[in-house]
Amino acid sequence: MEQAFIQSPLGVTKIEGNADGIASISVLNSNEKLTDLVPAILEDAVYQLNEYFEGKRQQFDLKLNPVGTDFQQRVWKALADIPYGKTVSYLELSKTLGDVKAIRAVAAANGKNPLWIVVPCHRVIGSDGSLTGYAGGLHRKKWLLEHESPVKQQSLF
């Protein structure tokens, strides 16, 4: 498994993958040494993530290979269908998957998403619109949703 550590606006991002695809992308709460030479197999992921942060990319086109249970894979696939700039509630996501009673299991699978940003778990919010739970920290979730918002808040000062 190849890996790279790159700088993003939200901290050091770790990317792991091989010829089978990208297995994980995560933001770290530590200052890992940045990668000097990105492995060729990860170059496209780095390029597309940089485009996303620059506001030039709304969809990713990467070969993905996350490891998870069948249920987790179903949830992650549903997450990938949430459009850029849109949000859904955990309840809506559970309904999409066909079982409103599975809301806690859906939330747990959402929290285990190994592909930060590319599989947009940050687009899932509470039914009341609150920014509930986010493995990367609520400050990052808020930043990502603002970054994707079609209406940019301008400073008055």
**Catalytically annotated residues:** 121
74, 64, 116, 41: CA torsion to nearest 10:
170
Burial (CB count within 10 angstroms: exposed 0-12, middle 13-18, buried 19+), residue 149: exposed
Distance CA 69, CA 118 (A): 19
Helix (H) or strand (E) holding 128: none
The backbone region for 154, taken as left when phi is positive above 0, alpha when psi lies in -120 to 50, beta otherwise, is beta
Distance CA 124, CA 41 (A): 30
Distance CA 135, CA 111 (A): 6
